[in-house]
Amino acid sequence: MAEQLYTIPVNDAFDTDCECPVCAMYIKLENDALDYTLGPSYMEEDVRAMTDKVGFCKEHAKKMYERGNRLGMALMYQTHTYGVIEAMSKLKPETKSGFLKKADNSSLINYVRNMSDSCFICDRIEKVLDRYIVTIMYLWKHDEVFKEKYKNSKGFCMDHYAMLVEYASKELSGKELESFMEITEKLFIDNMKRVKEDLDWFINKFDYRYKDESWKNGKDALPRMLGKVNSLDIQE
């Protein structure tokens, strides 16, 4: 059986007025993942086994902390750090080197780096976002209404533009691939230029010569540009 498609959330994101519909999907999935992780699920054995194993990245640790449920978070970190201490106690830093060799501490360094990068919440988001992007490609091939919606979007952030190019190369071919790449590239560049012009105007407004003129679309140009360049979601 074919993998599940997610036409509803994908269409919803493309119906949203935003600078990147994939960011809109990401934000929704991230909120759901945060709710799930801080909900009753952290007391379930299989979920706790996963949070113990992979932990959380810096960004999601911060977002969980800001949401409250301090007890739930403390319990997850209690059992997670139990494993971390156990593993790291075995990874003592080396000081002595072999003959003509420097001390090798790569196992310890790699353990810490992998742990900092791995994240239960990122994993949950990525798994579904992957299916969402596959769904975009499916809809591109089969749904003319979606195609129009896609063409009328305000483009994408840099990261998700690259993601769309990557998935299209795998999922599409021939004429479908050609038209997807052509339209996606144009959407990306044209809309980057649009937000850049808004940013130019935002900068002009700091000049006394423009102070009585209207803000046009410049007022929130900086947070929108941070959305395009850094995939940041900043509400003014």
Residues at the site binding Zn ion, with contacts judged by CB under 5 A: 20, 22-23, 57, 60, 119, 121-122, 157, 160, 231
CB of 21 to Zn ion, least distance (A): 8
CB of 99 to Zn ion, least distance (A): 42
CB of 188 to Zn ion, least distance (A): 11
Residue with token string 């994240």? 119
CB of 19 to Zn ion, least distance (A): 8
Sign of the four-CA dihedral 41, 46, 50, 51: positive
- Closer residue to Zn ion (CB): 119 or 225: 119
CB 231 within 8 Å of CB 26: yes
CA angle, residues 124, 22, 177, in degrees to nearest 5: 110
* End-to-end alpha carbon distance in the chain: 45
- Closer residue to Zn ion (CB): 124 or 146: 124
H or E element that contains 189: helix 174-204
- Closer residue to Zn ion (CB): 136 or 201: 136
- Closer residue to Zn ion (CB): 42 or 201: 42
CB of 51 to Zn ion, least distance (A): 11
List alpha helices for the chain, DSSP H.
Answer: 7-15, 21-38, 45-54, 58-67, 70-89, 106-117, 120-142, 144-151, 158-171, 174-204, 221-230
- Closer residue to Zn ion (CB): 91 or 128: 128
